[in-house]
Structure 1
Amino acid sequence: MHLQARALNMDPARRHRPQAVLVFPVLSGRLLWVRHPVRGWEVPGGKLEPGEDPEAAARREVWEEAGATLRDLSWIAEYWVPDTASYKWVYVGIVDDWHARPPESEIVDVQCRRGLPAPEQLQSAAGVSFVLKDAVYAKVYPILQRVLQSHDG
């Protein structure tokens, strides 16, 4: 799936109720990556459970997939997912604590990586999920760079 850049909304006043969330978890200037057994390397995310608040879903997904708890969580954008005819909210979260993920997690590996690959690097990277190969990542990339730099330490 390759989304058009115009599908991205970065104005919180114009948000729609999401069906799913995507979270970029930051720990000491590094990004936590998770490896899904089918899609490959990506960041935590998933669907909201019935009656679940989007922020609670974001925190739950980071815990279930990466074994991390978040101190801070900031909404940065939403985008339309044509395949599911729904909105997905994008967050950046500051990791408070990182442990082993729960045993029932579908994720097969978690890594804390320094640096942020440029969007064009991910386009040809093997083993990287389609989730990070679309226009959404390219648009939020400058925001993620600033967050990683401000929390490096």
Structure 2
Amino acid sequence: MQETFKDVNGNVITFTTKKGAFFKEPQHVLVICRYNDQWLLTKHPQRGLEFPGGKREGKERIQDTAKREVFEETGGIVSKLRFIGEYEVKLETESFIKSVFFASVDRLEDKKDYLETEGPVLLQSLPSDFSGKEFSFIMKDRVVELSLKEIKNIMEPVKKVGES
């Protein structure tokens, strides 16, 4: 699956579920997290509620970036990490690629410092859209929506032949 659209800032975004589709290594991550049957987000003081994410450091593996960002921003210890997709953000003079992961978090560690965020926020359910002012612009484009569709497919139990 691949889709192209504009984000709330007018940048062209191309989302795909194919790894390596952009022939360029992702340098950023977005990690959609579950903890104890709840959605685990963080609160950025300027942007608002969003799933954890950030930039790759040095030569770390992109999966390690995802785990590190979840811990730094929420105190979450990732037990399972699954690739969901990648997306390219085209700015006026450059572009960058983000990998999207789905993480299961085993526990939350209480931290004194959540770096650039205000720490973990747990939601029992997600809204049908993220248009509210409490949500970051990162949540408002189709990347999160499309990623959640992929995650829903992963989370639904596989039906046996003959079941309706």
User: Partner of 1:61: helix, strand, or coil?
Assistant: helix
Bigger helix share? 1
Q: 2:83 matched to 1:88? A: no
**What is residue 54 of structure 1 aligned with on the other side?**
62
Is the counterpart of residue 10 in structure 1 residue 20 in structure 2? Answer: no
Higher mean C-alpha displacement, 100-109 vs 17-26: 100-109
Q: Is the 8 A contact 2:75 2:119 kept in 1?
A: no
Give the Cα–Cα distance (whole angstroms) in 2 for the partners of residues 33 and 149 of structure 1: 21
The residue type equivalent to 2:27 in the other structure is Q
Shift, 1:104, TM fit: 5.3
Distance 1:90 1:65 in 2: 16
Asked whether 1:19 is paired with 2:27, we answer: yes
How much does 1:144 deviate?
Answer: 3.2
5+ residue gaps in structure 1?
A: none
Which secondary structure does the structure 2 equivalent of 1:52 belong to?
Answer: coil
Q: Deviations over 1:95-139 (max 9, x none)?
A: 011112352522114211111222xx212x012100000011121
Cα RMSD after superposing both structures? 2.1
Please report how far the alpha carbon of residue 70 of structure 1 lies from its aligned counterpart in structure 2 after TM superposition: 0.5
The residue number in structure 2 matching 1:139 is 146
Identity among equivalent positions (%) equals 28
Deviation at 1:82, TM superposition (A): 1.4
Judged with a 3 Å threshold, the aligned counterparts in structure 2 of structure 1 residues 147 and 116 are, in CA distance, closer, same or farther, namely farther
Partners in 1 of 2:111 and 2:156 — Cα distance?
Answer: 26
CA distance in 1, matches of 2:111, 2:146: 29
* 3-state SS of 1:51 partner: coil
The structure that has the greater radius of gyration is 2
- Equivalent pairs, count: 146
Aligned residue in 2 for 1:113: 123
Structure having greater relative contact order (Cα 8 Å, sep ≥ 6): 1
- CA contact 2:85–2:100 (8 Å) conserved in 1: yes
Runs of 4 or more, structure 1, over 2 Å off, are: 1-5, 12-16, 143-150
Amino acid at match of 1:32: L
List runs of 5+ in structure 2 lacking aligned partners.
Answer: 1-6, 158-164
For residues 39-50 of structure 1, the aligned pairs below 5 Å read: 39-50=47-58
Q: Name which of 128, 136, 144 aligns with 2:135.
A: 128
Partner of 1:136: helix, strand, or coil? helix
